[in-house]
Structure 1
């Protein structure tokens, strides 16, 4: 690719993700990246230009886009992710046809996106690729359906699991996630950011809460189940400064380039739920003190990204087990690069660059054929 490359980004024009990417394109001395609004894509009013390289960004954080995808006027509602998934995957598949017909190149393969946004399918693909993942009774297309709390209870019992994460199959940002545990007496507790209203509707909250009555847990799970659920073993996380810790590792064009430690006093480390950035140097030291190698942790992330070869950039959520010796991948995020101000890892080739500048630099080095092979 030469400096004559022309980039387009499908995104929400007012969103900071789009602004960060356009800033990176401008800083690289390239022509201004053209913005193609998700609203236009979803309404079927989209055109691309011959020779353009097209990047997809998140359709989130826009109420009009959310209304078209999920069919709700309230962005805080949890329900509607199955409809979101159907609309999003249909739109990206049609988008790929339009991009190809125009003689442009799409960086993100719709076939990969359809797997990445279904946790059951993503778990199975990672497992089949030999990537360490938590045990799951709902992995893959042949897994039994989860129709409600009774099914969750049964699957936990059959698999010998006393602590699990119950997740929306098509959820993101910890929406609809419950950390469920049973004690020796069979009592059930769940930690979640889901708030259940008196009329049964579910809302995302910035406050993590704990349900201690099984009937309350069952009511939430039963309301989530129509959108599809995924269950995973709740693995004990490593700790940093007395807080549970995991890592978000960004992989660009097959190489781990950025990493951030996230810590929390709750099972969910998401920063918007009270999580905080931890020390990457301390994490690396803990790994090496435990007798493991930091390079092995990054290798796990690169192997996870390699399971989605049609996607140029992913964010891998890496869980270091207690003791920092072993690692498992709990999520691979198609739009996991929003880490403002974070520069690249030493030796990654992205030193001094943020995640967006790194992606632009990668496109300048490598012909943009990433997303075309698995449409």
Structure 2
């Protein structure tokens, strides 16, 4: 029997999640049995059920209100608060399921320690910076947290940073992110998708809004701070067709295989907030015309992924500078591979494959190499 024929996949995920379905499609397209799905609802209750020899992919626990309640307690799933509790519970369970998988003779594609760092933006930034990956200036660490608005203003003033992104340390999908600009004479502007309810609670919405009154911005930052904040310099981004632009590169097995340009009229380029896919060919042409190098963007993404060697696939957010000649890494996402209908970059080894098929192919190549050895 070949190495490929022996592979049996399992996925820890929400059964109705699109990501799980796309990965299952990729596995079946490779001629392998449909992966078993171990639901997060069961896993969070300690029901693991791994089998010997399985290759286990950990997928996102998002988009399920019951799972969200198990992770950060009862409440509206759209609320912003509760990230610290979510993180503590999530990372503890990931460590438990990893131990159960190893004990059962299964193999994980995602390292629990890597996941723990990626889901703390402060720790992730520090790891990237220590490895020489280009990253923006940042403030806030677990040992020196940003405690609120007054502390934030003082740190930005000391560093002479008038514009910054303020991000919940454990957030995702732009939840709670604030693009902050400070001017003279006490002027302030905060751009965010956070909506403040009459009772003071913070909720995510699909509408990006501006706050210009300092008392409102201060209340917003003070409400976000207890869960932990990561603050990074707001680098001027390049523009494509008059819209700010950044990149998501997916790195599989250490190699950048897929890339998408994301453009927006707002500082946040997330598609659910009105961002859209840009023309990657035109973006690469703009880089070349400015005397920059696409290889530098790829190197930044692959350098970031190399900081997480125990994880097969990561999504890296790369920021092109306004002059198109420099690139910096904003974030590394453990579950950043949802790029439907996108096939691999030329000469990436993933031509004609989506992000999930590329991961399956990488696993099969590893199995074949092990069998040959």
2:68 matches 1:66: yes
1:95-174 superposed matches below 5 A = 95-138=97-140, 140-142=141-143, 144-174=144-174
Q: 1:11 maps to what in 2? A: 13
Scaled by the length of structure 2, the TM-score of the pair is 0.97
1:40 counterpart (24, 38, 42)? 42
What is the root-mean-square deviation of aligned Cα atoms in Å? Answer: 1.2
2:288 matches 1:296: no
Counterpart CA distance in 2 for 1:293 and 1:197 is 46
Change (3 A) 1:368 1:336: farther
Aligned-residue offset at 1:2: 2.2
Q: In the TM superposition, what whole-angstrom CA distance separates every residue of 1:234-275 from its partner, at most 9, and x where no partner exists?
A: 000000000000000000010000000000011000000000
Q: 2:204 maps to what in 1? A: 204
SS at match of 1:205: strand
Change (3 A) 1:368 1:190: farther
Aligned-residue offset at 1:367: 3.9
Q: In the TM superposition, what whole-angstrom CA distance separates every residue of 1:101-124 from its partner, at most 9, and x where no partner exists?
A: 001101111101110000000000
Counterpart CA distance in 1 for 2:67 and 2:24 is 21
1:301-312 superposed matches below 5 A = 301-312=301-312
Aligned-residue offset at 1:155: 1.1
Q: In the TM superposition, what whole-angstrom CA distance separates every residue of 1:305-350 from its partner, at most 9, and x where no partner exists?
A: 0001111100000000001100000010000000110111011011
Runs of 4+ in 1 over 4 A off after TM superposition: none
Counterpart CA distance in 1 for 2:103 and 2:139 is 41
Contact map agreement 1:344 1:353 (CA 8 A) in 2: yes
Contact map agreement 1:107 1:368 (CA 8 A) in 2: no
1:1-375 superposed matches below 5 A = 1-138=3-140, 140-142=141-143, 144-367=144-367
Counterpart CA distance in 1 for 2:149 and 2:134 is 27
Q: Which structure 2 residue ranges, 5 or more long, are not aligned?
A: none
Aligned-residue offset at 1:292: 1.6
Aligned-residue offset at 1:3: 2.0
Counterpart CA distance in 1 for 2:367 and 2:68 is 33
Q: 1:372 maps to what in 2? A: none
Scaled by the length of structure 1, the TM-score of the pair is 0.96
Q: In the TM superposition, what whole-angstrom CA distance separates every residue of 1:271-313 from its partner, at most 9, and x where no partner exists?
A: 0000011010011011111112111211110000000111110
Contact map agreement 1:6 1:52 (CA 8 A) in 2: yes
Aligned-residue offset at 1:368: 10
